[in-house]
């Protein structure tokens, strides 16, 4: 995929050295952007092997609304989040929780905010708000809306998270019957994280397009701090030498998101170059 290789090359050529919490310096660029047309194929990198099973399991985990990784780790033998979980598998209120159970203030009468003129005697409590289902419902009822937004950033809960969300917000937009998605990411590990984010959110867009009777459109991605860890440089240079191959095809069963299982995703004609191992910076 040329867009990814262009991102890698630009950061290697123009990035600046920055220290960070992991202790491993990065080469970093500010506000990188690319986009891919999902009509041209499923954007799973071909210049190295990306583990499709882990990509889809991570997406399904996001959709479960949990604050732990036991479904991933214990039931599906998927360990991509182990480094950020405690011994009980707890990761805190990150993507799954904020996508499906975002904390919302509710009153006894159903009002959603104690605004001006509110009776001081009304009791308030926290409820849970399903942002993903709201997005699906809006796409069905008002696809031209410019307010179909899902946020994974909650300042009041950051101290409860094992890792504050890197991909903080995505927005759906419909044009000519095609479902587009724009992802904003505060921080992006180009070697390890970005290939997963690209494939995961593209699959999410395709699944929602199927449920809402739309065609997959464009996936666009803005990365505020796009960085390459110094111990990833050689592996990425190897990828730059490799010629991208034809993108695979992804078929997804048309189902409500809550009913999707791994078997509903079928990857066809994936022919990548050999895998490249990159150490995880925690």
* Active centre residues (catalytic): 166
Q: List CB contacts of 204: < 8 A, sequence separation 6 or more.
A: 59, 62, 181
The distance from CA 238 to its chain's CA centroid, rounded to whole angstroms, is: 26
Question: 244 φ, ψ to 5°?
Answer: -60, 145
DSSP string, the chain: -HHHHHHHHHHHHH-EEE--TTSS-EEEEEEEEEEEEGGG-----SSS---HHHHHHHHHHHTTT-SB-HIIIIIH---TTGGGS-TT-B--SSHHHHHH-EEEEEETTS-SS--TT--TT--EEEEEE-HHHHHHHHHHH-TT-S--EEE---GGGGGG-SS--SEEEEEEEEETTEEEEEEEEEEEETTTHHHHHHHHHHHHHHHHHHHTT-EEEEEEEEEEEEEEEGGGHHHHHHHHHSPPPPP-EEEE----GGG--GGGEEEES---------PPP-
């Amino acid at each position: 995929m040329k867009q990814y290789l262009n991102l890698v090359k630009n950061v290697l050529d123009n990035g600046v050295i920055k220290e960070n919490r992991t202790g491993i310096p990065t080469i970093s660029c500010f506000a990188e952007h690319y986009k891919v047309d999902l009509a041209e194929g499923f954007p799973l990198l071909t210049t190295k092997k990306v583990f499709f099973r882990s990509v889809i399991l991570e997406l399904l985990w996001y959709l479960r609304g949990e604050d732990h990784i036991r479904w991933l780790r214990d039931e599906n033998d998927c360990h991509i989040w182990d480094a950020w979980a405690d011994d009980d598998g707890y990761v805190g209120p990150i993507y799954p929780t904020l996508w499906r159970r975002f904390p919302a203030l509710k009153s006894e009468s159903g009002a959603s905010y104690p605004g001006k003129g509110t009776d001081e005697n009304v009791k308030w409590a926290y409820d849970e708000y399903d942002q993903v289902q709201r997005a699906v419902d809006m796409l069905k009822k008002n696809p031209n809306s410019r307010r179909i937004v899902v946020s994974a950033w909650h300042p009041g809960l950051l101290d409860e998270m094992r890792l504050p969300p890197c991909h903080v917000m995505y927005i759906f937009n419909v044009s000519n019957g095609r479902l587009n998605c724009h992802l904003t990411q505060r921080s992006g590990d180009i070697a390890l994280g970005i290939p997963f984010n690209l494939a995961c959110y593209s699959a999410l867009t395709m699944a929602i397009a199927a449920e809402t009777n739309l065609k997959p459109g464009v996936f666009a991605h803005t990365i505020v701090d796009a960085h390459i860890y110094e111990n990833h440089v050689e592996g990425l240079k190897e990828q730059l030498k490799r010629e991208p191959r034809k993108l695979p095809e992804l078929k997804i069963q048309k189902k409500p998101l809550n009913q999707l299982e791994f078997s509903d995703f079928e990857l066809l004609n994936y022919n990548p170059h050999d895998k490249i191992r990159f150490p995880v910076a925690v």
